[in-house]
Amino acid sequence: MQDNRKHVEGILELKVSLNPLNSFYIPSWPGVFSAKIFHDVASSAGLRFSKTEEKCFSITPIKPLRMDCYPEAGIYGSKNSGEWRWLQVEEGDILSFSIYTSSKNLATRIVSELNRLQTLREPCGTFELAGIEGRLIPVKCIRGVDFEGEYVNLRLVVHYLTPTRFMLRGLCLDYPSHIRFMKSLGKLYCRLTGSEGLRTYIDKLALLNMEYERTRDRTIQCYVDIGHEGNIRRLIRAFRGEASYLLQVRASEVEILQELLKVGEALGVGVNRSLGLGRIKTTIIKLPD
């Protein structure tokens, strides 16, 4: 798909709700299931996406509407785990997932196609459209950095809600690297706003004014089942849990950090965000001088 990115002033969120007309189970990571539904609808709408280029959207794992957290289905502690974690879905148990994009064209065509179809047929069964909710997440376009003011010490707590993958030249990192975290945020923010001049600043911030708190690391390594080849699970390595980072920035820089985190909470971080990986929730805590 050629994405000419007619940007809106922020990020569009579409929350799609589906009513399953039969019971079934999801045998792998639910993000793969929501991605399958999304691509089927997009294909029906005439949209195409490159397999090699970065996607212009992010998707959350599908889950029953009654669940507060994302499902554990398809997540294992080791490659050789003998257990099977499946998500059982009952008839009439409303499911939901969200799509995030800055492309108004993409959002409009997906909504139009869902409203036209009303009923989706997948190999596991049939779904009726139960609703679509949309909202705009505003993002400020910050072009420059004001280095005036006093320094403040901050702790950034990041809860990696779904398995997350940071890559370094083709290698998967099994810990929440602060440098990869900030590079991911910076890339997303600068592509969204066109503020490419901030990319160098964000990289320097991660290198010189930010540290990963190893003693507060509550993340664990895991393996995610992204599909099967016969009875063989296709597993990719990731991590999830809670991590903390220390920052020392000027008070005027806090706004930039807040905008970066807003983008990260919407679009996710790391790779495979179109499969529901890299979903985060963040908290900034001011520390005493």
Q: Say if residue 73's pLDDT is above 60.
A: yes
pLDDT in tens, 156-176: 999 999 999 999 988 999 899
Residues in contact with 169: Cβ distance below 8 Å, sequence separation at least 6, in sequence order: none
Structural domains in the chain plus CATH codes: 7-138 (3.30.70.1890), 151-287 (3.30.70.1900)
pLDDT band at 227 (very low <50, low <70, confident <90, very high): confident
Distance set, CA 163 to CA 139, 178, 201 (Å):
25, 16, 28
Provide the whole-model pTM.
0.92
Torsion of CA 205, 287, 176, 182, to 10 degrees: -20
Report the alpha-carbon distance of residue 268 to residue 277 in Å, rounded: 7
Report the alpha-carbon distance of residue 146 to residue 135 in Å, rounded: 31
CB atoms within 10 A of CB 202: 21
3-state SS, one letter per residue, for 162-231: EEECEEECCEEECCCCHHHHHHHHHHHHHHHHCCCCHHHHHHHHHHHCEEECHHHCEEEEEEEEEEEECC
Report the alpha-carbon distance of residue 76 to residue 74 in Å, rounded: 7
Mean of pLDDT over the chain: 92
Distance set, CA 210 to CA 178, 183, 253 (Å):
7, 12, 13
Q: Are strands 166-168 and 210-212 parallel, antiparallel or unpaired?
A: unpaired
pLDDT in tens, 86-100: 999 999 999 999 999
Q: Say if residue 177's pLDDT is above 90.
A: yes
pLDDT in tens, 113-168: 999 999 999 999 999 999 999 999 999 998 888 777 889 999 999 999 999 999 99
Helix, strand, or coil (residue 104): helix
Q: Which pLDDT value is given to residue 144?
A: 81
Q: Which pLDDT value is given to residue 50?
A: 85
Report the alpha-carbon distance of residue 247 to residue 158 in Å, rounded: 13
Q: Which of 193, 189, 164 is nearest to 176 (CA)?
A: 164
Per the document, the length of the chain is: 289
Report the alpha-carbon distance of residue 31 to residue 277 in Å, rounded: 7
